[in-house]
């Protein structure tokens, strides 16, 4: 009787061992758990999309309204600001010309060459067509006369809670003071002439105030008495900032 031998296991069929069986069962369990979780997550997402769709649509509409509201507000303020600046620069240049007639010389900011085309200097002129009035952040007329250096009419813009404000003030040097560590410093004071949101700018009130200041300033030069304008400011207008230079 021939000798029988058991067949050798094939190299392609790994031998079953307890460790291998445990590993295979663990893999099957992990696959089932993953499938279950994915199914549950998909159901939750479907519920969330249905539940929150109306909420986000409402939020999106509110955000769009806010965009339009702010955009319209910015456009309106910029339009008003450009209008104010055109009037301001025209007024300042005419004042500069008028004082120049009595040999009183001012520095003008911005320089008239940046926004004016002269036909006959200095009386006949036009605005430059390509000048952007919106870009003007501040303007000033500064007296260069001896004994009045620093006397200035200044205008500028500032923002509060998203609103652009226009402010005008008269600034002058009140004297000098010696500081131990800084040496001699000039003391400047500002008197507030006008301070309003651009949306509430009243051109008539602005010109009334400007006329009042310019007539007094002009008279102080004609009488050669600086105290006339300073006394007028102290009596009629509110004192603002004080600083040194």
Q: What is the pLDDT of residue 49?
A: 56
Region 191-220 average pLDDT: 97
Region 99-118 average pLDDT: 96
Q: What is the pLDDT of residue 9?
A: 47
Instruction: Report the alpha-carbon distance of residue 89 to residue 86 in Å, rounded.
Output: 5
Q: What is the pLDDT of residue 179?
A: 79
- Greater pLDDT, 18 or 20: 20
Looking up tokens 């955000």 gives 63
**pLDDT band for position 178 (cuts 50, 70, 90):** confident
- Does the pTM surpass 0.75? The reply is no
| Beta bridge mates, 179 | 183
Under a CB-based contact definition with an 8 Å cutoff, are residues 192 and 209 in contact? no
CA 49 to chain centre: 40
């Amino acid at each position: 009787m021939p000798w029988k031998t058991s067949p050798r296991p094939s190299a392609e069929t790994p031998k079953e061992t307890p460790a291998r069986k445990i590993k295979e069962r663990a893999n099957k369990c992990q696959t089932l758990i993953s499938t279950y979780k994915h199914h549950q997550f998909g159901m939750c997402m479907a519920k969330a999309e249905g539940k929150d769709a109306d909420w986000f649509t409402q939020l999106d509409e509110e955000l769009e309204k806010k965009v339009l509201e702010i955009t319209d507000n910015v456009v309106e303020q910029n339009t008003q600001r450009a209008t104010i600046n055109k009037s301001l620069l025209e007024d300042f240049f005419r004042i500069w010309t008028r004082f120049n007639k009595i040999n009183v010389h001012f520095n003008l900011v911005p320089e008239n060459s940046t926004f004016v085309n002269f036909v006959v200097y200095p009386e006949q002129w036009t605005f430059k067509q390509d000048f952007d009035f919106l870009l003007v952040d501040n303007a000033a007329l500064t007296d260069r006369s001896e004994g009045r250096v620093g006397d200035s009419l200044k205008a500028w813009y500032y923002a509060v809670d998203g609103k652009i404000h226009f402010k005008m003030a008269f600034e002058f040097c009140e004297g000098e003071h010696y500081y131990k560590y800084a040496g001699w410093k000039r003391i400047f004071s500002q008197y507030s002439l006008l301070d309003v949101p651009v949306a509430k700018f009243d051109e008539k009130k602005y010109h009334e105030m400007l006329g009042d200041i310019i007539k007094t300033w002009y008279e102080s030069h004609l009488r050669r008495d600086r105290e006339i304008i300073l006394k007028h400011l102290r009596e009629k207008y509110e004192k603002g900032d004080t600083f040194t230079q």
